[in-house]
Amino acid sequence: MDHDSHSKQFVYVLVKDYLKFALDGSQSVPATSSAAETLRKAAALFQRVREHEFELYIKQLKLASIEDVKRAFPILMNEISSDGKDNWGRLVALYAFCGELARHLRRRGIPEEELVEDMAQCMAHHTWTLKAAWIQEKGGWEKGFVDYFKQENPGFVEYFRQKSPRFSYAKLAAVTGIIAAFSFVLYQH
């Protein structure tokens, strides 16, 4: 693996690790990096909290194939920061949605290996194309991303230690951009 967390290859490996984790549902395979471990935890949180909404969006957006994902992902990615406010929470929420989408597509009969490979390539390409400068400006995946969820947001760390935590308003606010993006995309189609 390319260990430069500013590289497109790093993003691809990170996303691929997360999609496999989202489909497997366990931590039987160690994460590929500290950023991958952080993404697993943060995205799993969003996925659990927003699972029913994500399923509704998938159904309403009629996302039923890899081609649909390739069409929708860049639109969603642009829309989540259309207000000019990028943040790690919005990116994680989008990835969490894609994890739920991967499970949906697997249930529709798309082979897991093809699904993970194609989605990871699409997600990495658009993340790199649209967010690489912002990610680097914020310290990169291994520093900025990991620190954001460990130090600036200790509530996320505490969340993973509790059995039945409450989800705070501040954490819900991080999802607002992606919920608005899904609504926008729904009305465009």
CATH of the domain at 58: 1.10.437.10
Residue 143 lies in a domain: yes
Residue 2 lies in a domain: no
Number of C-beta neighbours around residue 159 at 10 A:
19
Residue 3 lies in a domain: no
Number of domains in the chain: 1
Residue 150 lies in a domain: yes
Residue 148 lies in a domain: yes
Range of the domain at 38: 8-188
Residue 1 lies in a domain: no
Alpha-carbon distance of 179 to 176, in angstroms, equals 5
Residue 164 lies in a domain: yes
Q: What is the pLDDT along the chain (189 residues), one digit of tens a residue?
A: 434 666 889 999 999 999 999 998 776 788 889 999 999 988 888 888 778 888 888 887 788 888 888 888 888 887 777 777 788 888 888 899 899 999 999 999 999 999 999 999 999 999 998 899 999 999 999 999 998 887 545 555 454 444 333 333 334 344 445 555 555 555 554
Residue 136 lies in a domain: yes
Question: Which are the contacts of 161, defined by CB distance < 8 A and separation ≥ 6?
Answer: none
Nearest to 126 by CA among 82, 181, 71: 71
Whole-prediction pTM: 0.79
